[in-house]
Amino acid sequence: MKTFVILLSNTDLETDANVIQKHIEYLKSLDDKGLLILAGPFSDYPGGMVVIKAHHEEEAIQIALSDPFVSQGYRTFEIRTLEVANQQNNYLL
């Protein structure tokens, strides 16, 4: 599996508690499936980030499109592939 970053950008629509709750439930479902690595809003910039595991970019796009924030028009998104640097891969050296 690869690691993908979904960057969520705000739209002009004002989010309400209902869509926020649906978004949180969606993140919990990704976590239950072992796909969610981390997620959260930016504290110094509009929008947020969701880091997931997926087999390929098309799967990551489908995950992003299924997020209620995106599917209901409250956020747009960009997909980035992250090369994780860690001790197991000698920090990509």
Q: What is the pLDDT of residues 23-73, one digit of tens each?
A: 999 999 999 999 999 999 999 999 999 999 999 999 999 999 999 999 999
Is the pTM higher than 0.85? The answer reads yes
Paired tokens of 2:
């690869």
User: How many domains does one find in the chain?
Assistant: 1
CA 7 from chain centre, in angstroms, equals 6
CB atoms near residue 40 (< 10 Å): 10
The Cα–Cα gap between 41 and 59 comes to 22
Domain that holds residue 37: 2-92
The Cα–Cα gap between 59 and 34 comes to 14
First-residue to last-residue Cα distance in the chain:
20
CATH code, domain with 36:
3.30.70.1060
